Amino acid sequence: MRSTDITIRDVAISYEDYTYRTPIKFGGMTLDKVTLLNVTMTVEGATGRRAVGFGSMPLGNIWAWPSRQLSYDQTLAGMKYIAERLIGPFRMSGLYGHPIDIIEELEPRYYLPGEDYARLARLSEPVPKLAALVVASAFDAALHDAYGKLHGRNCYQTYTREFLHNDLSHYLGEEFTGEWLEQYIEPVPKAVMPLYHLVGALDPLTPAEVRQPVGDGLPEHLGEWIERDGLTHLKIKLNGDDLGWDVERVLSVNAVAEEVQKRQGVERWYYSLDFNERCQTVDYLL
């Protein structure tokens, strides 16, 4: 045990519900709301000093648990069930160590609540592991945040040999012997990073596509967003199972971007295509 190691003393969760300004469509599903899972976690160091960390994650059941048989409310209830059942394993683990090693020990327990829920609710399908991992990510974030606060550092500055017990070979195999996580992390945060603007499948791209203006003073279509915010990075939500539509959507977004960027004198911009894990083959993606 190192003097920098911690153990978990308490865990609490809460939820926040939000309604989107406009509906968003991705992966063939339309959504107008989101529920956030918030986790607060208290840890204790070797000297008895404590710190409280915070982690938050959208319970993205529409993509973490994409189901054609279960309703939105059913899958959301399942992810909430997992969250509530993970409190005990974290709070009562009794483990000491670095957050990465504590999580490595706890991860196999993430999936048991989902198995219980599927049985108790008599579901027609199993709970995806991704749904459990999404829920657990808020606990993971809270643990790392608490660890950083206990040591008075950004948690990313605690992924060094000063704090870690093992090099990467312990987690990833012998080919990583002698390599440490800090080698893959920037030592200083970047002062500026590009912001990706998400383009949902229902988002109007042009004035002609605006059927029901929101009227709240914010842009109503993509062209206005690009012009107002100086956007150079667009994340385009696609279906993943309708190649013709996906290709046409990208071309349509590009047409709007080209027109606005040319008018603003911008010569380079970027796209990220998001299929929400629905592509069945690599060929579709390519």
Average of per-residue pLDDT across 5-19: 98
At 280 the pLDDT is: 84
pLDDT digits (tens, 9 = 90+) for 13-51: 999 999 999 999 876 778 899 999 999 999 999 999 999
At 27 the pLDDT is: 65
Least confident interval from 19-28, 51-60, 113-122, 236-245: 19-28
Spatial separation of the C-alpha atoms in residues 117 and 4, rounded to whole Å: 37
Examine the domain organization and report whether 130 and 253 are in the same domain.
no
Spatial separation of the C-alpha atoms in residues 165 and 171, rounded to whole Å: 11
Instruction: Name, in order, each residue with C-beta under 8 angstroms of 140's C-beta and a sequence gap of 6 or more.
Output: 55, 99, 103
Length of the chain: 286
Examine the domain organization and report whether 36 and 139 are in the same domain.
yes
Reference 142, options 4, 25, 39; nearest CA is 39
Residue 34 lies in a domain: yes
Are 264 and 227 in contact by the 8 Å Cβ rule? The answer is: yes
Domain holding 253, by residue range, is 196-285
Reference 269, options 203, 208, 194; nearest CA is 194
Examine the domain organization and report whether 131 and 231 are in the same domain.
no
For the chain, the DSSP string reads --TT-EEEEEEEEEEEEEEEEEEEEETTEEEEEEEEEEEEEEEEETTS-EEEEEEEEE--HHHHS--SSS-HHHHHHHHHHHHHHHHHHHHT----B-HHHHHHHHGGGGGHHHHHHHHHTT-SSPPPHHHHHHHHHHHHHHHHHHHHHHTTS-GGGGSSTTT-SS-THHHH-GGGTT--GGGGS-SS--S--PPEEEE-TT---SGGG-SS---SSS-SSHHHHHHHHT--EEEEE--SS-HHHHHHHHHHHHHHHHHHHHHHT----EEEEE-TT---SHHHH-
pLDDT at 261 over 70: yes
Residue 191 lies in a domain: no
> Residue 145 sits in a domain of what CATH number?
3.30.390.10
Residue 133 lies in a domain: yes
Residue 257 lies in a domain: yes
Examine the domain organization and report whether 103 and 228 are in the same domain.
no
pLDDT at 278 over 80: no
Considering its fold, how many domains does the chain have in total?
2
The region, left, alpha or beta by phi > 0 then psi within -120 to 50, assigned to residue 277 is: left
Examine the domain organization and report whether 93 and 212 are in the same domain.
no
Output the pTM of the full model.
0.90
